[in-house]
């Protein structure tokens, strides 16, 4: 009888304990859901859309008056929301594309493209085969005073040009290794560059065949009006301190996007969409209680090499780097004609940002947003500094990426709402005062050359 009584007591205790756990779990889930609703009820895609409309009236090329106007607009919007915001200038070496450029071979005109940072010149000379333009390919070649034809691949365009210049070449023609036009960058200004143009795979192979037949083709490479000069770009910053003085974490979350665009493109999706979403999330979080510092940043000069985010990260103290638990990078988040939402991490591995976003997208949409390896945007400098970071973008990109067709009528309010909800609830999941988030800072170890967003480098 005693044994039975003991068993009954244990069973009763276990039942009560299980019931208590169930009630506690249910209460926590209910509280979590209620907290999440605070974010969801505030997000307004129409506000994001209207800011995109303003920003995409004209291209916002880094270092131009239009970019400065965009930065000022962002700063004023943040100030109107009640933030202490700032426009932070930084200098960079900028490039104005050539006003004109041409290529002819044996009197026949071609249709070349030029490289960012290619230098001016007017060269008429014999064209010789330079292989892939590596030092080994050129080691035993007589290229002095000649135009070197090289194929794309293996090393960067800039390295190919410098290797040819070191051997005394007068100009370089780089032909594509795949179908289509070749648009690229030499990676940055360099006094040792020589005039360089690009041609298609078909055109390059035609010239190469002539060389291999021993015909010694003569070419004229002409580039005029290219300008390299010091420019000023801008980052815009605003910070929301923890709502609590005593119950606050020591953590920081950064939400960022770039406000510049490429020449000739209004940049509605790339990246007025991300910039406008940063502004909307700043509005949403302004009155929400948080125990984590939130930083809202828009970067300049992303399109010419992630320069704004590089500058921002370079100015962080070691303490700040250690305190930043996540960087959410919003780039091209609103195109109606792009694919599904994905997250890119610089090294292809998960981190706190992807985990938070996958949890929020599962709650909202029933499935986690996938992630993959990918650079070419402002999350990369953060990742290189060991900060968990991820890019939010739709893949594949829309057909008019980096064209004059990237305008307001291609923007989907539904996609804007979806991304803002996923990112907003993910951030709040980590920054709401009752959250039980991990105290372990997940560090990235990715180290790599910077991957440019707008153009190929090799």
pLDDT in tens, 131-189: 999 999 999 999 999 999 999 998 999 999 999 999 999 999 999 999 988 888 898 89
Mean pLDDT value of segment 359-367: 97
C-alpha to C-alpha distance for 383 and 325, rounded to whole angstroms: 11
Percent of the chain with pLDDT over 70: 88
C-alpha to C-alpha distance for 71 and 99, rounded to whole angstroms: 27
Residue 4: per-residue pLDDT: 31
Kindly state the tokens that stand for 313: 């990260």
Residue 263: per-residue pLDDT: 87
pLDDT of 355 strictly over 70: yes
Q: Which residues, including other chains, have CB under 8 Å from residue 180's CB and lie 6 or more apart?
A: 200, 201
C-alpha to C-alpha distance for 352 and 354, rounded to whole angstroms: 6
402: phi > 0 → left, psi -120 to 50 → alpha, else beta; which?
A: left
Phi then psi dihedrals of residue 16, to 5 deg: -65, -40
C-alpha to C-alpha distance for 65 and 153, rounded to whole angstroms: 37
Residue 1: per-residue pLDDT: 32
Residue 246: per-residue pLDDT: 76
Residue 247: per-residue pLDDT: 79
Residue 219: CB atoms within 10 A of its CB come to 23
Residue 114: per-residue pLDDT: 94
pLDDT of 451 strictly over 60: no
Taking alpha carbons only, the member of 91, 93, 118 closest to residue 185 is: 118
pLDDT of 320 strictly over 50: yes
Residue 244: per-residue pLDDT: 84
C-alpha 53, offset from chain centre: 21
pLDDT band at 457 (very low <50, low <70, confident <90, very high): low
Kindly state the tokens that stand for 235: 């980052």
List, in sequence order, every beta strand (DSSP E) within 59-203: 85-96, 100-105, 108-109, 113-114, 121-129, 147-151, 171-175, 196-199
Calculate the alpha carbon distances from 273 to 63, 332, 387, 390 in Å. 20, 6, 24, 17
- The model's pLDDT over 368-390, given as tens digits with 9 standing for 90+, comes to 999 999 998 999 999 999 999 99
Calculate the alpha carbon distances from 282 to 79, 124, 275, 296 in Å. 11, 57, 11, 7
Residue 30: per-residue pLDDT: 54
Phi then psi dihedrals of residue 283, to 5 deg: -65, -45
Q: Which residues, including other chains, have CB under 8 Å from residue 270's CB and lie 6 or more apart?
A: 261, 262, 331, 332, 401, 402, 406
C-alpha to C-alpha distance for 186 and 156, rounded to whole angstroms: 8
Residue 3: per-residue pLDDT: 32
pLDDT of 455 strictly over 60: no
- Which DSSP string do the residues of 145-167 spell out, in sequence order? TSEEEEESBSB-HHHHHHHHHHT
pLDDT band at 32 (very low <50, low <70, confident <90, very high): low
Calculate the alpha carbon distances from 186 to 73, 162, 354, 447, 458 in Å. 32, 10, 33, 21, 8
Is 259:71 a contact under the CB 8 Å cutoff? yes
pLDDT of 242 strictly over 90: yes
Mean pLDDT value of segment 109-129: 96
pLDDT of 47 strictly over 80: yes
Residue 248: per-residue pLDDT: 83
Is 404:266 a contact under the CB 8 Å cutoff? yes
Residue 304: per-residue pLDDT: 87
Range with the largest mean pLDDT of 12-16, 178-182, 222-226:
222-226
Mean pLDDT value of segment 71-83: 98
Q: Which residues, including other chains, have CB under 8 Å from residue 1's CB and lie 6 or more apart?
A: none
Mean pLDDT value of segment 219-246: 95
Residue 31: per-residue pLDDT: 52
Residue 239: per-residue pLDDT: 98
Give the residue, 266 or 97, on which the prediction is more confident. Answer: 266
pLDDT band at 453 (very low <50, low <70, confident <90, very high): very low
């Amino acid at each position: 009888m005693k044994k039975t009584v003991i068993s009954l007591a244990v069973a009763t205790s276990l039942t009560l304990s299980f019931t208590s756990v169930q009630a506690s779990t249910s209460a926590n889930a209910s509280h979590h859901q209620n907290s999440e609703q605070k974010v969801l009820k505030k997000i307004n895609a129409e506000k994001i859309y209207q800011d995109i409309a303003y920003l995409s009236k004209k291209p916002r090329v880094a270092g131009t008056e239009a970019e400065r106007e965009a930065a000022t607009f962002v700063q004023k919007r943040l100030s109107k929301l009640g933030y202490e915001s700032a426009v932070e200038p930084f200098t960079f070496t900028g490039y104005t594309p050539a006003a004109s450029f041409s290529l002819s071979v044996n009197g026949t005109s071609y249709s070349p493209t030029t490289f960012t940072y290619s230098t001016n010149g007017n060269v008429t000379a014999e064209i010789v085969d330079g292989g892939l333009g590596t030092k080994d390919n050129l080691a035993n070649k007589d290229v002095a005073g000649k135009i070197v034809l090289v194929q794309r691949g293996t090393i960067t365009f800039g390295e190919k040009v410098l290797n040819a210049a070191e051997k005394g070449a007068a100009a370089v023609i780089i032909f594509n290794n795949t179908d289509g036009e070749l648009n690229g960058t030499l990676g940055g200004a360099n006094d040792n560059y020589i005039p360089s143009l690009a041609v298609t795979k078909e055109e390059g192979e035609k010239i190469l065949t002539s060389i291999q037949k021993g015909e010694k083709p003569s070419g004229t490479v002409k580039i005029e009006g290219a300008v390299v000069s010091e420019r000023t770009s801008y980052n815009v910053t605003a910070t929301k301190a923890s709502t609590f003085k005593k119950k606050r974490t020591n953590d920081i979350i950064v939400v960022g996007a770039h406000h510049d665009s490429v020449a000739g493109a209004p940049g509605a999706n790339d990246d007025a969409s991300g910039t406008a979403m940063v502004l909307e999330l700043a509005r949403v979080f302004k009155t929400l209680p948080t125990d984590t510092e939130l930083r809202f940043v828009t970067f300049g000069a992303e399109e010419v090499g992630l320069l704004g985010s590089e500058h921002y990260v370079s100015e962080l103290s070691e303490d700040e780097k250690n305190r930043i638990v996540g960087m959410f990078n919003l780039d091209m988040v609103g195109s109606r004609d792009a694919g599904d939402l994905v997250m890119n991490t610089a090294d292809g591995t998960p981190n706190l940002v992807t985990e938070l976003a996958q949890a929020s997208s599962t709650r909202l949409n029933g499935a986690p947003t996938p992630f993959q390896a990918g650079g070419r945007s402002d999350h990369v400098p953060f990742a290189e500094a060991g900060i968990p970071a991820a890019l939010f973008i739709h893949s594949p990109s829309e057909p008019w990426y980096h064209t004059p067709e990237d305008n307001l009528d291609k923007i989907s309010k539904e996609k804007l709402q979806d991304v803002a909800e996923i990112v907003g609830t993910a951030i709040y999941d980590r920054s709401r005062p009752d959250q039980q988030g991990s105290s372990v800072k997940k560090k990235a170890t990715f180290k790599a050359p910077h991957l440019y967003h707008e153009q190929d480098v090799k």
